[in-house]
Chain A
Amino acid sequence: MKEISCKLLVIGAGPGGYVCAIRAGQLGIDTVIVEANKPGGTCLNIGCIPSKALIHAAEEFEKATHFADGASPLGISVSAPKLDLAKTIAWKDGIVGRLTGGVSGLLKKAKVKVVNGWATFRDGKTVEVETETGTQIIRAENVVIATGSVPVELPFLPFGGNVISSTEALSLTEVPKTLAVVGGGYIGLELGIAFAKMGAKVTVVEALPRVLATYDAELTRPVTKRLAALGVTVLTGAKAKGLSAKADALLVETADGKDEKIVADKILVTVGRKPQTAGWGLEQIDLTMSGRFVRIDDQCRTSMRGIYAIGDVTGEPMLAHRAMAQGEMVAEIIAGHKRSWDKRCIPAICFTDPEVVSAGLTPDEAKAAGTEVKIGMFPFTANGRAMTKLGEEGFVRVVARADNHVVLGIQAVGQGVSELSAAFGLAIEMGARLEDIAGTIHAHPTQGEAFQEAALKALGHALHI
């Protein structure tokens, strides 16, 4: 097969890779992107988007179930709702299809050549791609590694059969009667809550003393409360030990050292993700690593000239929007623009119920950095819009420097707060001070008002509390 030569080769068409390729194409760079599966990566195919589709369907079903109980204060009652999960999954696949198709269209529009297949480095400038039609050699001046990450497998609970990863959980056609979730991080809780809402009896097994351990306890308390209300059993400080002999239950050592057997039709293992560093010839180019990750500098350059790495393969936080920003930046660097990573914050969201958003520093992180802080918190119980949505649980919290009031971090927990992340990120990137947020008119009645009020609270004069 004829060799391809190009200025830029992107390996992996996830959110980091495809954004990099599109931007490079826009800048007139001769670009090739290699992807073994459909474009969109984990995010579009088996991550962010399908999980949000499933979570939304579960939410709607739970609402209907709630109405059927006759207990809704809204005065709505319905007869027993039914869920056809296969149909839900088909709807979800439709969305995924539209998005991945959209990405293909965008790549084409940007004149990016897409090669389907598995890429392996031969050397720092040459990559072999196993395609359906044979081996394709691609020579490139610049290579961007955007291979992403994969779910971590537990050696004593290997994937297969009833032990599933998030990928399989998003394609189940029947709601399992009982579901054990190993790992109480954001993925486990998002999916665990969704299946609980769809009717599964869910047990979450978390080794640490509390779930969502990367967030502070104040922020996760409303989620813990909701888990209890949904009938989800949470075992903290508990260790998963393996599968029962009949493969119908999870063996657990509880916090007090007792062995317990959790009957489960499915066991969902969500104990984290690891960078995809194997299978693409990392050993051929011998890049310097930083722990499990490929080491990069503030321009996403690896230890080899002309080779860049972006996204999950380069480290935490493993978030699509970080990868996208890196991809865009690298394309511009290759086009000769002066760029480097200067972002002040990468917001993170848990699409649990209620949702959790964190942008910038938490109070503890700010204090640990030796900064004297002012903190303002405003609860949704005092927010009119939240009340009308039956979403009074939660709050917005602002962390600012005590001396000059520059906002260092913003966190929120509550129904629908994921959409506030845009305002939070903007405030921090713009270097807003408490007075800037307090002085911005926030439309009434919205949950966003709680953001303004939290800033006012930090300044000592919140109006509605």
Chain B
Amino acid sequence: MGEYVIKLPDVGEGVAEAELVEWQVKVGDLVREDAVLAAVMTDKATVEIPSPVDGKVIWLGAEIGDTVAIGSPIVRLEVAGEGNVKAGDAPEAKPAKQEEKPKAVEPVEAKKDEPAPKPVATAPKPAATRALSGAPRAEGEKPLASPAIRLRAREAGVDLRQVAGSGPAGRITHEDIDAFIARGPQPAGKSSGLVQNNDVSEIKVVGLRRKIAEKMRISKSRIPHITYVEEIDVTTLEELRASLNKGKRADRPKLTLLPFLMRAMVKAISEQPQLNALFDDDAGVIHQHGGVHIGMAAQTPTGLVVPVVRHAEARDLWDCASEVNRLADAAKSGTATREELSGSTITITSLGAMGGIATTPVINYPEVAIVGVNKMMVRPMWDGTQFVPRKMMNLSSSFDHRVIDGWDAAVFVQRIKALLETPALIFMDN
């Protein structure tokens, strides 16, 4: 038997480290060649790490959420025949980040022909025993606890069979009893059939979720948001949209409201260019962009991403529409590239039919403005003599109050309102 070390392969150009987001194996598992061991995530993409050999997992080198340097050992396998570990290699070998050149996808493969290693001696015992601890008891098995624990449990009226043991081999500790008692008596719940659920499950914030969390934290902690909500009569716009969709060429995408809003924003920004900017608050510099790159916050199965319609100022209505569709598909299928997911200068957020009456959008740092689209609905509006049914929609927009004054924010939103309520204005040149 030999030991085979799998190191984190180079997963993409110029990437020095990657975040471990998933283990597909655990210690003790038997794996086949090419079976997926783990998934790592870089800024760019999620990459699966396959096993180059058949073997049994005896050690995992990182926990989910850890950032692992390229070339660091991540898995040790016990393999038939010789492995790739030299006798005397300490199992705790430091991540080989510096000395290991990321040359091949599986840099360890090259070492295969080295002399037979001395096995077992370097087998990392702790990993093996750790896997055993906290093992759940089999049905009917006596709980493992010292006499002192058993006495305490009896005095406290605790049924040890109900207590999970955190000690070696599932041994119940004083702390386990403390925790059990702290949770309080379990109500019988017979009358109502309802029982308390005191479960607390720990979910590691990793991968995309961690990136979102970090982004939101920075935005909300650094940017004093001012949110401005205004209602917009989109009846005319909706009529226009319907007729355009009706008469559209077959090769053109179906128009949604979004392309109209984008064009309206481009128009408004041309009058108020300070809204289309990135505020480098560390340097105290505002980068005001000429190109309008509109991020569209999109919900995907794994979380929130923001694909970007680049240079909306250079795209007509139809072009915007097809780009929105293309990016939405790419984001949902997880094939969006890094370039498509970054570089926005202003953002639109929309929850569609779930949009509610008003929202308080969080600015996509380091941008200075975000426009939130709320749900469109028919409301009775007073036209001066009577109530008439109108298609109404709110826009909830947030601005970085450090660099955008409330007045300017209001002017911006009012301009968009005017454009959307009289859509012909969107297409008029100044």
| Residues of chain A having any CB pair with chain B under 8 Å | 337-340, 342, 344, 403-406, 429-431, 433, 435-436
Most buried by B among A340, A403, A433: A433
Contact B169 A431 (CB under 8 A): yes
A319 and B166 CA atoms in complex are apart in Å by: 35
Contact A429 B155 (CB under 8 A): no
Contact B146 A435 (CB under 8 A): no
Cβ contacts under 8 Å, B169 to chain A: 404-406, 431, 433
Cβ contacts under 8 Å, A433 to chain B: 168-169
B144 CB contact (under 8 Å) in A338, A339, A403, A431: A431
A435 and B125 CA atoms in complex are apart in Å by: 11
- Given A405-B169, A436-B168, does the pair A430, B155 have CB atoms closer than 8 Å? no
Cβ contacts under 8 Å, B402 to chain A: none
- Given A433-B168, A435-B168, does the pair A404, B132 have CB atoms closer than 8 Å? yes
- B interface size (C-beta, 8 A): 16
Residues of B145-169 at the interface with A, using a CB-CB cut-off of 8 Å, are 145-147, 150, 154-155, 157, 168-169
A429 and B146 CA atoms in complex are apart in Å by: 6
Contact A338 B146 (CB under 8 A): no
A429 and B151 CA atoms in complex are apart in Å by: 12
Decide yes or no whether B129 CB sits under 8 A from chain A.
Answer: yes
Decide yes or no whether B171 CB sits under 8 A from chain A.
Answer: yes
Cβ contacts under 8 Å, B150 to chain A: 342
Cβ contacts under 8 Å, A344 to chain B: 142
Most buried by B among A342, A405, A406: A342
Contact A338 B171 (CB under 8 A): no
Chain A's nearest CB lies how many Å from the CB of B168? 6
B135 CB contact (under 8 Å) in A338, A404, A435: A404
Cβ contacts under 8 Å, A342 to chain B: 147, 150, 154
Chain B's nearest CB lies how many Å from the CB of A329? 11
Cβ contacts under 8 Å, A436 to chain B: 168
Chain A contact surface mostly: loop
A408 and B132 CA atoms in complex are apart in Å by: 17
A337, closest chain B residue (CB):
B155
A430 and B149 CA atoms in complex are apart in Å by: 9
What would 23 A/B residue contacts be, using CB atoms closer than 8 Å?
A337-B155, A338-B154, A338-B157, A339-B154, A340-B154, A342-B147, A344-B142, A403-B135, A404-B135, A404-B169, A404-B170, A405-B132, A405-B169, A406-B169, A429-B146, A429-B147, A430-B146, A430-B147, A431-B144, A431-B146, A433-B169, A435-B129, A436-B168
B171 CB contact (under 8 Å) in A337, A403, A431: A431
B157, closest chain A residue (CB):
A338
Top 3 A-B residue pairs of the complex, sorted by shortest distance between their CB atoms: A404-B169, A431-B144, A430-B146
Contact B168 A338 (CB under 8 A): no
Contact B154 A403 (CB under 8 A): no
B156, closest chain A residue (CB):
A338
B147, closest chain A residue (CB):
A429
A404 and B171 CA atoms in complex are apart in Å by: 11
Cβ contacts under 8 Å, B146 to chain A: 429-431
Most buried by B among A339, A403, A431: A431
Residues of B285-340 at the interface with A, using a CB-CB cut-off of 8 Å, are none
Cβ contacts under 8 Å, B157 to chain A: 338
A429 and B135 CA atoms in complex are apart in Å by: 19
Contact A338 B129 (CB under 8 A): no
- Given A337-B155, A338-B157, does the pair A403, B132 have CB atoms closer than 8 Å? yes
A429 and B145 CA atoms in complex are apart in Å by: 8
A406 and B141 CA atoms in complex are apart in Å by: 13
A338-B154, A342-B154, A431-B144 are known contacts; what are 6 more A-B pairs with Cβ within 8 Å?
A338-B155, A340-B154, A342-B150, A404-B169, A431-B146, A435-B168
A342 and B154 CA atoms in complex are apart in Å by: 10
A339 and B152 CA atoms in complex are apart in Å by: 10
Cβ contacts under 8 Å, B147 to chain A: 342, 429-430
Cβ contacts under 8 Å, A431 to chain B: 144-146, 169, 171
Proximity string of chain B (127-149) to chain A, C-beta cutoff 8 Å, 1 when within and 0 when not: 00100100100000010111100
Cβ contacts under 8 Å, B154 to chain A: 338-340, 342
Proximity string of chain B (166-202) to chain A, C-beta cutoff 8 Å, 1 when within and 0 when not: 0011110000000000000000000000000000000
Cβ contacts under 8 Å, A339 to chain B: 154
Cβ contacts under 8 Å, B135 to chain A: 403-404
Cβ contacts under 8 Å, B145 to chain A: 431
A403 and B138 CA atoms in complex are apart in Å by: 12
Cβ contacts under 8 Å, A429 to chain B: 146-147
A342 and B171 CA atoms in complex are apart in Å by: 15
Cβ contacts under 8 Å, B155 to chain A: 337-338
A431 and B170 CA atoms in complex are apart in Å by: 10
Chain A's nearest CB lies how many Å from the CB of B124? 15
Most buried by A among B142, B145, B168: B168
B171, closest chain A residue (CB):
A431
A156 and B232 CA atoms in complex are apart in Å by: 114
Chain B's nearest CB lies how many Å from the CB of A303? 23
